Amino acid sequence: MMPAFLTITTEGMEPEEGGPAPDRILSGNPRFTTWNAEESDGLCAGIWEATQGKWRIVYDEWEFCHILSGVSVIAEEGGETRTVRAGDSFVIRPGFRGTWEVLETTRKEYVIRL
């Protein structure tokens, strides 16, 4: 049986490497590293890191984010542009469309509800 308490960490976890789909990249060569700590019952949680670049984003899921380090700019299509940095927490709701631009390599904790 798995323990009921799970620590979110990168230690001892094999990360997944990737990046945005090539047709979504607007500038740079952003690369992603993801440590998925939990994936069950329509919920995912872990740590994600991205290098510099800008790409289009479209959210079909709900996501809570807490920025651990770095600086990014998230711009909503037809809406506000927000700069997020270490210590910031926010939710992106389904239907969000816009861009994510990493100015300084950004690491976040996330919880996604599919």
Please give the average per-residue pLDDT across 7-34, as a whole number: 96
Q: Which two tokens stand for residue 82?
A: 């927000």
pTM for the whole structure: 0.94
> What is the tens place of the pLDDT at every residue in 87-111?
999 999 999 999 999 999 999 999 9
CATH topology of domain 16-113: Jelly Rolls (2.60.120)
Per-residue b/e over 72-95, b at no fewer than 16 CB within 10 Å? bebbeeeeeeeebeeeeeeebeee
Q: What is the pLDDT of residues 7-20, one digit of tens each?
A: 999 999 999 999 99
The pLDDT of 17-34, averaged and rounded, is: 98
Q: Give the position of tokens 């909503």.
A: 76
Task: Give residue 3's pLDDT.
Answer: 81
Domain boundaries, the chain: 16-113
The CA distance from 42 to 39, in Å, is: 7
Using 50, 70 and 90 to split pLDDT, how confident is the model at 112? very high
